[in-house]
Structure 1
Amino acid sequence: MKTLKTVKCGETVKVVKLHGEGALKRRIMDMGITKGVEVYVRKVAPLGDPIEINVRGYELS
């Protein structure tokens, strides 16, 4: 199982599990990242942070 941190630019992956709890997990879910959704990695900064992703037609970074 990959983490979002290890996904390469241009890859599409499906969310299998969310890590975190409480307010952090709720915030991630509020942004549309939930179990079963596809995430496309658009851009990754040279040092790996930030990354830009597409989720449900929205761009997040």
Structure 2
Amino acid sequence: MTLREAKVGCSYKVKKLNGEGALRHRLMDMGFTNGCPFSVRKVAPLGDPVEITIRGYELSVRKDDAENIEIIEA
């Protein structure tokens, strides 16, 4: 399951980051590391972006980037 498929109001943990180079580094800089818990706050009407709460702050992630974040339910 990827972040793009996550449901609003649910809590998840990061399972794995896909992608290489700059994309992977940028996701890690935003706070996505293995095992990190987060919750989905809302999704825009067309599914882009996804707003989450991670490490005490709110973050919006584009759906193209969200496909590179594998998650599991917390």
Structure 2 length-normalised TM: 0.78
Moved over 2 A (4+): none
Counterpart in 2 of 1:46? 45
Distance apart, 1:58 and its partner CA: 1.0
Counterpart in 1 of 2:15? 16
Distance apart, 1:26 and its partner CA: 0.2
In terms of fraction of residues, the more strand-rich structure is: 2
Identical residues among aligned pairs (%): 63
Question: Is 2:54 the partner of 1:59?
Answer: no
**Which fold has the larger relative contact order, with Cα–Cα distance below 8 Å and residues 6 or more apart in sequence?**
2
- Secondary structure of 1:16's aligned partner: strand
Counterpart in 2 of 1:35? 34
CA distance in 1, matches of 2:51, 2:2: 15
CA distance in 2, matches of 1:12, 1:39: 6
Distance apart, 1:30 and its partner CA: 0.4
Q: How many residues align?
A: 60
Q: CA RMSD in A?
A: 0.6
Structure 1, unpaired ranges of 5+: none
